[in-house]
Amino acid sequence: MRWLKDKSSNTWIYIAVMVYLILAFGWWAYLLIESSNREFSQQVMQLASELSLGPNETSLLEGQEYQDFYSAYKRKITMVITEGFVFVLTLSFGLYLLVRSYRSEIAYRTQQKNFLLSITHELKSPLASTRLALETIQKRKLEEEQQAELLKSALHENQRLSTLVNDILLSTRMEEAYEPVLERTNIENIFERLVTAMKYKYPNIRWNIQSEFNEKHVIVDQSGLTSIMVNLMENAAKYSNKKGDVRIIYKEYNNNLVIKIADFGIGIPDEEKKMIFEKFYRVGNEEVRKSKGTGLGLYLVKKLIDNYGGKIAVHDNRPKGTIFDITLPINLPET
């Protein structure tokens, strides 16, 4: 984080220097114009004296010598104004780029801070839950049913931790290159396993899934599809009401897997819809946030879909909530 602070300090120095240059050039242009005005006035007065005429007499103003002086004066003023305008415009554009860069750095630093705060919580929470469950089994004499429930909880927290670590590793791979691994997959089994896992993790959410898929098997990147669905389903659950509904429809259309995930939660403001797929992006302050997350989920979803050659769109649900529409190219196995 130190390099960000150093870079931020340098940015402010650059901004201060550019503002100083603009002010200095403005003062220089003012003095140059004043000097040109005095020089022109002196030339006119000298010419009038030589011709024994007043400085405002028509015969003087219409004379060729006066016109030559005036043309030279206008060219000099035009040159100063034009060069000054170009100089100030160039510096102003540079200043704009610096300010925008600085704001981007601040936003990125805030997102990184939020990520570190959230990832610390997300890592500690399953570890603490697993440890508590195992210590309870170790220290107390429990019935087999109670032990089984605690072990089930510990395994669930372990899976949650594994998913988090996989997301972090996957986000790192996305920065370099990710190649989908296509394999023959039972599409129904994928969605059934996902819904079963989500029902256990979010028991208060009513999960409604509808299949309009004619084929049972497809050739698809199973790992990538699972990551996409887990992140979108968890996102829908987190931002729904405590006893909300999440609806999932999937179907095959023109050799594409088309998925619609709809929730009836708080929704996403229009101005934030384009930002939700940015890395580490989360709305608000992580220190007071109630919902869990790292800011990697939707970023991974967008990257996976882009690498897969698919599309994702987000829009409002009615009367409230959010809908994600996903289109992924698939191949049907030869029969």
In which element (H, E) is residue 263 found?
strand 256-263
pLDDT tens for 84-107 read 788 778 877 877 887 787 777 777
| Nearest Cα residue to 173 out of 109, 118, 227, 235 | 227
Residue where the block lists tokens 């007043």: 54
Residue 113: partners with Cβ closer than 8 Å, 6 or more residues away: 286
Burial label for 232, CB within 10 Å (0-12, 13-18, 19+), is: buried
Burial label for 16, CB within 10 Å (0-12, 13-18, 19+), is: exposed
Q: Would you say the pTM of this structure is higher than 0.85? A: no
Span 224-244, mean pLDDT? 87
pLDDT tens for 101-152 read 777 777 777 767 766 766 777 778 888 888 888 888 888 888 888 888 888 8
Task: Kindly state the tokens that stand for 108.
Answer: 């990125």
Mean pLDDT of the chain: 79
